[in-house]
């Protein structure tokens, strides 16, 4: 039993509101059953975890934080981030960096987040989940350089339109090479925010 675990709700089951998927800070992505069906997607919660056979149960969940202003400012971006984590991570595995990156986004939600910064965030997120374009021409030295900069430093960076197009191609390629891309509900975030 893990006491006082902390995690972020990635998805609620479409059929059963008691089945949820959580990005746990220590255990990575876990699917579990909860008695509380009112938990919102994206919520940061604490809980106790108990394994019974093949099923993971959580109990005593308590809401720590709900990123309401982030969702209000850009609901599509917020849901795109949650959806990418859900589809690009595997049960029981996820780097601590992914959780920390999402927690960092939650801590900066009060600031104005530019479209470029959102793309920088997605670059860091996809990279930390091990996703890179299969097409070698898309993996440029510029994107590699961007990826080497900390997310905190990227908030002060501005890039040219041609550099942003390069980043757009990298993000687009990463997402579209996913085998379940046709199930994504927020992929149009990238299409709507491409640099022309």
pLDDT by residue (tens digit) across 51-84? 898 889 999 999 998 888 777 778 899 999 999 9
Res 3: pLDDT: 59
pLDDT by residue (tens digit) across 102-148? 988 888 766 768 889 999 999 999 999 999 888 888 888 999 999 99
Res 110: pLDDT: 62
Burial class (CB in 10 A: 0-12, 13-18, 19+), 170: buried
Could you tell me the two tokens for 176? Answer: 């579209």
* Res. 174: pLDDT tops 60: yes
Please list the residues that pair with 19 across neighbouring strands.
33
CA angle 84, 21, 154 (to 5 degrees): 35
For residues 98 and 134, what is the distance between their CA atoms, to the nearest angstrom? 21
Confirm if 11 and 45 have CB atoms less than 8 A apart: no
For residues 33 and 14, what is the distance between their CA atoms, to the nearest angstrom? 13
Question: pTM of this prediction?
Answer: 0.90
What count of residues does the chain have?
196
Residue 93 CB coordination number (10 Å): 11
Res 108: pLDDT: 79
For residues 31 and 27, what is the distance between their CA atoms, to the nearest angstrom? 11
Q: What is the mean pLDDT of residues 166-185?
A: 93
Instruction: Give residues with Cβ within 8 angstroms of 191, minimum separation 6.
Output: none
Calculate what percentage of the chain has a pLDDT beyond 70: 96
Res 83: pLDDT: 96
More confident residue, 130 or 194: 130
CA angle 163, 166, 167 (to 5 degrees): 90
């Amino acid at each position: 039993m893990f006491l006082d675990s902390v995690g972020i709700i990635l998805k609620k089951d479409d059929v059963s509101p008691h089945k949820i998927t959580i990005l746990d800070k220590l255990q990575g992505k876990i699917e579990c059953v909860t008695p509380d069906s009112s938990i919102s997607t994206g919520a940061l919660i604490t809980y106790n975890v108990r394994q019974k056979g093949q099923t993971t149960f959580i109990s005593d969940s308590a809401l720590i934080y709900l990123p309401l202003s982030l969702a209000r400012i850009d609901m599509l971006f917020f849901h795109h981030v949650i959806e990418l984590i859900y589809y690009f991570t595997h049960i029981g595995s996820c780097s601590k960096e992914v959780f920390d990156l999402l927690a960092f986004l939650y801590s900066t939600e009060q600031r104005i987040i530019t479209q470029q910064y959102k793309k920088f965030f997605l670059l860091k997120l996809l990279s930390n989940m091990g996703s890179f374009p299969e097409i070698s021409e898309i993996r440029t030295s510029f994107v590699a350089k961007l990826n080497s900069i900390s997310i905190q430093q990227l908030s002060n960076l501005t890039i040219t339109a041609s550099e942003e197009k390069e980043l757009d191609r990298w993000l687009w390629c990463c997402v579209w090479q996913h085998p379940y891309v046709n199930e994504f509900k927020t992929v149009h975030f990238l299409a709507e925010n491409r640099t022309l």
